[in-house]
Structure 1
Amino acid sequence: MTHSRIRVSVDAAAEPEQVFSVLTDWPRHDEWMVLTRARVTAGDGRSAGSRLAAFTGMGLLGFLDTMEIIEWDPPTTVAVRHTGRLVRGTGIFRVLPREEGGSTIVWEEELDLPFGPAGRLGWPLVRPANEALFRLSLRRLAELSGR
Protein backbone atom coordinates (compact mmCIF):
# COMPACT_ATOMS: atom_id res chain seq x y z
CA MET A 1 0.00 0.00 0.00
CA THR A 2 1.37 3.40 -0.99
CA HIS A 3 0.87 6.39 1.30
CA SER A 4 0.51 10.00 0.29
CA ARG A 5 0.55 13.10 2.45
CA ILE A 6 -1.28 16.37 1.87
CA ARG A 7 -0.81 19.43 4.09
CA VAL A 8 -2.50 22.79 3.57
CA SER A 9 -2.97 25.77 5.87
CA VAL A 10 -4.93 29.03 5.93
CA ASP A 11 -4.91 31.95 8.34
CA ALA A 12 -8.16 32.99 10.01
CA ALA A 13 -9.13 36.19 11.79
CA ALA A 14 -11.14 34.20 14.35
CA GLU A 15 -9.57 32.87 17.53
CA PRO A 16 -8.85 29.12 17.82
CA GLU A 17 -11.84 28.42 20.08
CA GLN A 18 -14.29 29.83 17.52
CA VAL A 19 -12.64 28.08 14.56
CA PHE A 20 -12.52 24.75 16.41
CA SER A 21 -16.19 25.11 17.35
CA VAL A 22 -17.25 25.55 13.72
CA LEU A 23 -14.77 22.91 12.48
CA THR A 24 -16.18 20.25 14.79
CA ASP A 25 -19.85 21.10 14.30
CA TRP A 26 -20.15 18.06 12.02
CA PRO A 27 -23.65 18.75 10.59
CA ARG A 28 -22.37 22.18 9.41
CA HIS A 29 -19.56 20.70 7.28
CA ASP A 30 -21.53 21.33 4.12
CA GLU A 31 -21.26 25.07 4.88
CA TRP A 32 -17.50 25.06 4.39
CA MET A 33 -16.13 21.69 3.25
CA VAL A 34 -16.45 21.46 -0.52
CA LEU A 35 -18.95 18.81 -1.68
CA THR A 36 -19.21 17.17 1.77
CA ARG A 37 -22.00 16.49 4.24
CA ALA A 38 -21.03 14.96 7.61
CA ARG A 39 -22.86 13.47 10.57
CA VAL A 40 -22.08 11.72 13.83
CA THR A 41 -22.94 8.02 13.67
CA ALA A 42 -21.78 6.90 17.14
CA GLY A 43 -20.73 8.70 20.30
CA ASP A 44 -21.02 12.41 20.92
CA GLY A 45 -18.78 13.64 18.11
CA ARG A 46 -16.68 15.41 20.72
CA SER A 47 -14.43 12.64 22.01
CA ALA A 48 -12.03 9.94 20.91
CA GLY A 49 -13.94 6.86 19.81
CA SER A 50 -16.84 8.80 18.29
CA ARG A 51 -17.64 7.78 14.73
CA LEU A 52 -18.48 10.04 11.82
CA ALA A 53 -19.70 9.57 8.27
CA ALA A 54 -19.21 12.10 5.50
CA PHE A 55 -20.68 11.85 2.02
CA THR A 56 -18.45 13.53 -0.54
CA GLY A 57 -19.93 14.18 -3.97
CA MET A 58 -22.90 15.68 -5.75
CA GLY A 59 -26.35 14.15 -5.75
CA LEU A 60 -25.97 10.39 -5.72
CA LEU A 61 -22.51 10.48 -7.33
CA GLY A 62 -19.85 10.28 -4.64
CA PHE A 63 -18.60 8.13 -1.82
CA LEU A 64 -19.06 7.61 1.91
CA ASP A 65 -16.03 8.40 4.07
CA THR A 66 -16.39 6.74 7.48
CA MET A 67 -14.11 7.87 10.30
CA GLU A 68 -13.31 7.41 13.95
CA ILE A 69 -12.05 10.29 16.08
CA ILE A 70 -8.67 9.17 17.44
CA GLU A 71 -7.56 12.44 19.06
CA TRP A 72 -9.68 15.17 20.61
CA ASP A 73 -7.84 18.12 22.15
CA PRO A 74 -9.94 21.31 21.89
CA PRO A 75 -9.38 23.97 20.77
CA THR A 76 -6.29 22.83 18.89
CA THR A 77 -6.53 19.30 17.49
CA VAL A 78 -8.99 16.77 16.15
CA ALA A 79 -7.66 13.70 14.35
CA VAL A 80 -9.57 10.95 12.61
CA ARG A 81 -8.82 7.52 11.21
CA HIS A 82 -10.53 7.02 7.85
CA THR A 83 -12.11 3.56 7.92
CA GLY A 84 -14.02 3.46 4.65
CA ARG A 85 -13.55 1.28 1.60
CA LEU A 86 -12.20 4.07 -0.61
CA VAL A 87 -10.54 6.50 1.82
CA ARG A 88 -8.18 5.02 4.41
CA GLY A 89 -5.49 6.68 6.50
CA THR A 90 -5.48 9.54 8.99
CA GLY A 91 -6.59 13.14 8.90
CA ILE A 92 -5.63 15.86 11.37
CA PHE A 93 -6.95 19.37 11.81
CA ARG A 94 -4.93 21.75 13.96
CA VAL A 95 -6.04 25.25 14.92
CA LEU A 96 -3.01 27.18 16.10
CA PRO A 97 -3.07 30.63 17.72
CA ARG A 98 -1.16 33.42 15.98
CA GLU A 99 0.82 35.95 18.02
CA GLU A 100 -0.93 38.87 16.33
CA GLY A 101 -4.36 37.33 16.99
CA GLY A 102 -6.51 34.96 15.05
CA SER A 103 -5.38 31.49 14.13
CA THR A 104 -3.81 29.27 11.51
CA ILE A 105 -5.85 26.26 10.43
CA VAL A 106 -3.79 23.27 9.28
CA TRP A 107 -5.27 20.24 7.52
CA GLU A 108 -3.07 17.18 7.06
CA GLU A 109 -4.02 13.88 5.49
CA GLU A 110 -1.89 10.76 5.24
CA LEU A 111 -3.81 8.52 2.89
CA ASP A 112 -3.45 4.97 1.65
CA LEU A 113 -3.89 5.37 -2.09
CA PRO A 114 -6.70 3.21 -3.51
CA PHE A 115 -6.78 1.34 -6.83
CA GLY A 116 -3.26 -0.19 -6.60
CA PRO A 117 -0.88 0.75 -9.43
CA ALA A 118 -3.53 2.89 -11.15
CA GLY A 119 -3.94 4.93 -7.95
CA ARG A 120 -0.19 5.47 -7.68
CA LEU A 121 0.05 6.55 -11.32
CA GLY A 122 -3.00 8.83 -11.10
CA TRP A 123 -2.11 10.49 -7.79
CA PRO A 124 0.26 13.11 -9.28
CA LEU A 125 -2.63 14.28 -11.48
CA VAL A 126 -5.26 14.27 -8.70
CA ARG A 127 -3.14 15.66 -5.86
CA PRO A 128 -3.05 19.34 -7.01
CA ALA A 129 -6.85 19.37 -7.33
CA ASN A 130 -7.21 17.82 -3.86
CA GLU A 131 -4.88 20.43 -2.35
CA ALA A 132 -6.80 23.25 -4.07
CA LEU A 133 -10.15 21.92 -2.78
CA PHE A 134 -8.73 21.48 0.75
CA ARG A 135 -7.38 25.06 0.69
CA LEU A 136 -10.72 26.41 -0.61
CA SER A 137 -12.52 24.52 2.16
CA LEU A 138 -10.21 26.00 4.82
CA ARG A 139 -10.74 29.52 3.45
CA ARG A 140 -14.49 28.96 3.70
CA LEU A 141 -14.05 27.66 7.27
CA ALA A 142 -11.98 30.73 8.19
CA GLU A 143 -14.63 33.05 6.76
CA LEU A 144 -17.52 31.21 8.43
CA SER A 145 -15.69 31.21 11.78
CA GLY A 146 -15.29 34.98 11.66
CA ARG A 147 -19.02 35.69 11.41
Structure 2
Amino acid sequence: MVNFLLERTVPLPLPEAWRRLTEWPRHGEVVPLTRVTVSTPPPAGVGTLVVTRSGLGPLSFEDPMEVTVWRPPAEDEPGLCRLEKRGRVVTGWAEIEVRPGPGGRSRVVWREELAVRWLPRLFDPLLRSAAVYVFGRAANRLLRMP
Protein backbone atom coordinates (compact mmCIF):
# COMPACT_ATOMS: atom_id res chain seq x y z
CA MET A 1 0.00 0.00 0.00
CA VAL A 2 1.30 3.43 -0.89
CA ASN A 3 0.26 6.95 0.00
CA PHE A 4 0.98 9.98 -2.10
CA LEU A 5 0.07 13.64 -2.28
CA LEU A 6 -0.15 15.95 -5.29
CA GLU A 7 -0.56 19.72 -5.04
CA ARG A 8 -1.26 22.20 -7.80
CA THR A 9 -2.05 25.92 -7.86
CA VAL A 10 -4.08 26.93 -10.89
CA PRO A 11 -5.48 30.22 -12.24
CA LEU A 12 -9.08 29.01 -11.98
CA PRO A 13 -11.95 29.91 -9.67
CA LEU A 14 -12.82 27.21 -7.14
CA PRO A 15 -16.01 25.99 -8.89
CA GLU A 16 -14.21 25.60 -12.23
CA ALA A 17 -11.26 23.68 -10.76
CA TRP A 18 -13.78 21.45 -8.95
CA ARG A 19 -15.79 20.84 -12.13
CA ARG A 20 -12.71 19.92 -14.14
CA LEU A 21 -11.58 17.37 -11.55
CA THR A 22 -14.94 15.81 -10.71
CA GLU A 23 -16.48 15.26 -14.14
CA TRP A 24 -15.49 11.61 -13.91
CA PRO A 25 -15.65 10.52 -17.58
CA ARG A 26 -13.02 13.17 -18.38
CA HIS A 27 -10.49 11.12 -16.38
CA GLY A 28 -10.72 8.46 -19.10
CA GLU A 29 -9.71 11.09 -21.65
CA VAL A 30 -6.42 11.81 -19.88
CA VAL A 31 -5.34 8.44 -18.44
CA PRO A 32 -3.96 6.07 -21.09
CA LEU A 33 -5.78 2.77 -21.68
CA THR A 34 -8.57 3.79 -19.32
CA ARG A 35 -12.29 4.26 -19.76
CA VAL A 36 -14.46 5.78 -17.03
CA THR A 37 -18.19 5.32 -16.58
CA VAL A 38 -20.59 6.58 -13.94
CA SER A 39 -23.16 3.94 -13.09
CA THR A 40 -25.48 6.17 -11.08
CA PRO A 41 -27.69 8.97 -12.44
CA PRO A 42 -26.57 12.60 -12.14
CA PRO A 43 -26.03 14.81 -10.33
CA ALA A 44 -22.86 13.57 -8.66
CA GLY A 45 -22.80 13.30 -4.89
CA VAL A 46 -22.46 10.84 -2.03
CA GLY A 47 -23.26 7.39 -3.37
CA THR A 48 -22.13 8.09 -6.93
CA LEU A 49 -20.49 4.98 -8.38
CA VAL A 50 -17.53 5.55 -10.71
CA VAL A 51 -15.98 2.61 -12.56
CA THR A 52 -12.68 2.77 -14.40
CA ARG A 53 -11.64 0.01 -16.76
CA SER A 54 -7.91 -0.03 -17.40
CA GLY A 55 -5.72 -2.20 -19.60
CA LEU A 56 -6.00 -4.02 -22.90
CA GLY A 57 -8.35 -6.90 -23.64
CA PRO A 58 -7.92 -9.82 -21.23
CA LEU A 59 -5.27 -7.87 -19.32
CA SER A 60 -7.76 -5.25 -18.18
CA PHE A 61 -9.51 -4.81 -14.85
CA GLU A 62 -12.23 -2.69 -13.31
CA ASP A 63 -11.65 -0.29 -10.46
CA PRO A 64 -15.06 0.57 -8.94
CA MET A 65 -15.16 3.57 -6.62
CA GLU A 66 -17.90 5.12 -4.52
CA VAL A 67 -18.11 8.79 -3.58
CA THR A 68 -18.37 8.87 0.22
CA VAL A 69 -17.81 12.60 0.78
CA TRP A 70 -19.11 15.28 -1.58
CA ARG A 71 -18.75 18.90 -0.50
CA PRO A 72 -18.43 21.20 -3.53
CA PRO A 73 -16.71 24.53 -2.86
CA ALA A 74 -18.97 27.42 -1.87
CA GLU A 75 -17.83 31.04 -2.14
CA ASP A 76 -14.38 30.94 -0.53
CA GLU A 77 -14.99 27.62 1.26
CA PRO A 78 -12.94 24.62 0.13
CA GLY A 79 -14.49 21.64 -1.59
CA LEU A 80 -13.72 18.01 -0.77
CA CYS A 81 -14.54 14.76 -2.54
CA ARG A 82 -13.54 11.32 -1.22
CA LEU A 83 -13.75 8.13 -3.24
CA GLU A 84 -13.44 4.67 -1.70
CA LYS A 85 -11.89 2.13 -4.08
CA ARG A 86 -13.90 -1.09 -3.91
CA GLY A 87 -12.27 -3.24 -6.56
CA ARG A 88 -10.93 -6.77 -6.54
CA VAL A 89 -7.57 -5.55 -7.86
CA VAL A 90 -7.18 -1.95 -6.66
CA THR A 91 -8.16 -0.85 -3.15
CA GLY A 92 -7.70 2.28 -1.06
CA TRP A 93 -9.16 5.76 -1.33
CA ALA A 94 -8.63 9.11 -3.03
CA GLU A 95 -9.44 12.64 -1.87
CA ILE A 96 -9.60 15.69 -4.08
CA GLU A 97 -9.66 19.01 -2.28
CA VAL A 98 -10.01 22.39 -3.95
CA ARG A 99 -9.35 25.40 -1.73
CA PRO A 100 -8.63 29.11 -2.16
CA GLY A 101 -5.08 29.85 -3.18
CA PRO A 102 -3.01 33.02 -3.49
CA GLY A 103 -4.21 35.81 -5.76
CA GLY A 104 -7.65 34.38 -6.47
CA ARG A 105 -6.20 31.12 -7.71
CA SER A 106 -7.28 27.63 -6.65
CA ARG A 107 -5.13 25.23 -4.70
CA VAL A 108 -5.74 21.56 -5.53
CA VAL A 109 -4.67 18.82 -3.13
CA TRP A 110 -5.01 15.22 -4.30
CA ARG A 111 -4.33 12.58 -1.62
CA GLU A 112 -4.45 8.90 -2.30
CA GLU A 113 -3.89 5.57 -0.61
CA LEU A 114 -3.43 2.88 -3.21
CA ALA A 115 -2.94 -0.86 -2.98
CA VAL A 116 -2.83 -3.48 -5.70
CA ARG A 117 -3.83 -6.92 -4.48
CA TRP A 118 -1.22 -9.62 -4.93
CA LEU A 119 1.53 -7.05 -5.55
CA PRO A 120 4.29 -7.63 -2.96
CA ARG A 121 5.32 -4.65 -0.80
CA LEU A 122 8.73 -4.88 -2.44
CA PHE A 123 7.10 -3.09 -5.39
CA ASP A 124 5.67 -0.20 -3.31
CA PRO A 125 8.37 2.30 -4.38
CA LEU A 126 7.69 1.51 -8.06
CA LEU A 127 3.91 1.68 -7.51
CA ARG A 128 4.26 5.05 -5.76
CA SER A 129 6.42 6.48 -8.56
CA ALA A 130 4.04 5.23 -11.25
CA ALA A 131 0.98 6.56 -9.40
CA VAL A 132 2.51 10.01 -8.84
CA TYR A 133 3.44 10.18 -12.53
CA VAL A 134 0.08 8.95 -13.88
CA PHE A 135 -2.18 10.86 -11.48
CA GLY A 136 -0.01 13.99 -11.58
CA ARG A 137 -0.14 14.02 -15.37
CA ALA A 138 -3.92 13.38 -15.27
CA ALA A 139 -4.49 16.24 -12.81
CA ASN A 140 -2.42 18.61 -14.94
CA ARG A 141 -4.32 17.69 -18.10
CA LEU A 142 -7.75 17.85 -16.43
CA LEU A 143 -7.01 21.29 -15.01
CA ARG A 144 -5.95 22.54 -18.46
CA MET A 145 -8.98 21.11 -20.33
CA PRO A 146 -11.90 23.52 -20.72
Common fold, TM-score beyond 0.5? yes
- Pair 1:35–1:6, CA change in 2 (3 A): farther
Deviation at 1:123, TM superposition (A): 1.3
Q: Please point out which of 4, 14, 25 is paired with 1:6.
A: 4
Structure 1: unaligned runs, 5 residues or longer: none
Kindly, what percent of the aligned residue pairs are identical? 31
Residue 63 of structure 2 aligns to a residue in which SS? strand
Q: Displaced runs of 4+ in structure 1, greater than 4 A?
A: none
Deviation at 1:45, TM superposition (A): 5.3
Determine if contact 1:22/1:141 at 8 Å carries over to the other structure: yes
Tell me the equivalent position of 2:21.
23
Tell me the equivalent position of 2:133.
132
Tell me the equivalent position of 1:141.
142
- Pair 1:11–1:31, CA change in 2 (3 A): farther
Tell me the equivalent position of 1:64.
62
**Could you tell me how far apart the structure 2 residues matched to 1:33 and 1:12 are?**
20
Deviation at 1:69, TM superposition (A): 0.5
Instruction: Count residues in correspondence.
Output: 140
Deviation at 1:54, TM superposition (A): 1.0
TM-score, scaled to structure 1: 0.84
What amino acid sits opposite 1:17 in the alignment? P
- Pair 1:108–1:35, CA change in 2 (3 A): farther
Matched, 1:80 2:83: yes
What amino acid sits opposite 2:112 in the alignment? E
Deviation at 1:122, TM superposition (A): 1.0
Measured against aligned partners, the alpha-carbon deviations of 1:8-44 in whole angstroms (never above 9, x if no partner) come to 1122111110011122212222233444321111243
Residue 39 of structure 2 aligns to a residue in which SS? strand
Deviation at 1:49, TM superposition (A): 1.2
Structure 2: unaligned runs, 5 residues or longer: 74-78
